[in-house]
Amino acid sequence: MSFSSDVKNELTQTISSACCYKAEAFGMILFGRSFSLSEISLMTEMQEVAERYCACIRDLTDITPLMQKSAAGNYKITVPERADRIKILEYFGYTGKELALRINLANLDQTNNDCCSRAFLRGVFLVCGSVTDPEKDYHIEFNVAKAKLCDDLMQIIDDSGLKAKKIIRNNGYVLYSKDAESVEDFIGTMGANKAFMTVMQTRAIKDLKNQINRRSNFESANMSRSIEAGLKQVSLIESVLEKISLNDMTDDLSALCKLRLENPELSLDELGKLVNPPLSRSAVSRRFKKLEKIAEELNAK
């Protein structure tokens, strides 16, 4: 099962108060495949969603919709009788003759803590939403066929303190969010608490991995800096050796130059440890300063 169906499955198990039950049902029915005088219908791959849709209509209006399963495994729910469609439309305050379908806010009891807006979003998500597995990407979206309906939904999303953007795709409209926090907020607001925890945990683990990656990038940057320093010292030594031989240097300096030529990749620390007796980083650094001076003097001649 996809993460999206996990979330929907969890949402269909939410137990709502009477006001929210109506709001959720309204979301499902209004944003389903069709909500008009000629057709009230829903298409879904998920049996749980199909059953929830049917149960809502039955519980609220005493009408039992017709549920059919296609060969491909999709569920199609319809209300075949015109009189039944009229009854459902009227229940939610519609005539079915509206020129542009809008969200009838009278179906959302807004006196009690936005509970119904959250339930409504849950219903809408069940029939036209999807969310990507947070392991792969942060992405939640609602697909809406009608422009005005999409704008009204955006308003409710806004009012709920959630963030979404709108794009046009395949002659329809898509409201979506792509940042981790928003995806988390949507899932939490709709009431999928288990999925909410999953997204939060995934996000925490991803953040930690990113931190570790940043650190090892930093470490390899440091490493390439020390290699660069080593190669500079090699060319310094080579330039000195064009004028004088190792034997012309003091013993400690010639030993260090020899070791550096053999080990250009080592840091000053590591190089110091190869010297007998071992030298500290700063002692190694001082000797190379001395060598630089010698090189300057030789060049001046």
Give the footprint of Zn ion on this chain (CB under 5 A).
Answer: 19-20, 115-116
Shorter beta-carbon distance to Zn ion: residue 11 or 40: 11
Supply the minimum distance, in Å, between the C-beta of residue 154 and Zn ion.
21
Q: Which is nearer to Zn ion, 12 or 41 (CB)?
A: 12
Check if the beta carbon of residue 270 is closer than 8 Å to that of residue 262.
no
Q: How far is the CB of 143 from Zn ion (least distance, A)?
A: 25
**Could you tell me the smallest distance in angstroms from the CB atom of residue 115 to Zn ion?**
3
Nearest approach in angstroms of CB 25 to Zn ion is 12
Q: Specify the residue, 11 or 237, whose C-beta has the smaller distance to Zn ion.
A: 11
> Is the CB of 109 or the CB of 141 nearer to Zn ion?
109
Q: Residue 7 CB, nearest distance to Zn ion (Å)?
A: 20
- Is the Cβ of residue 115 or residue 257 nearer to Zn ion in the bound state? 115
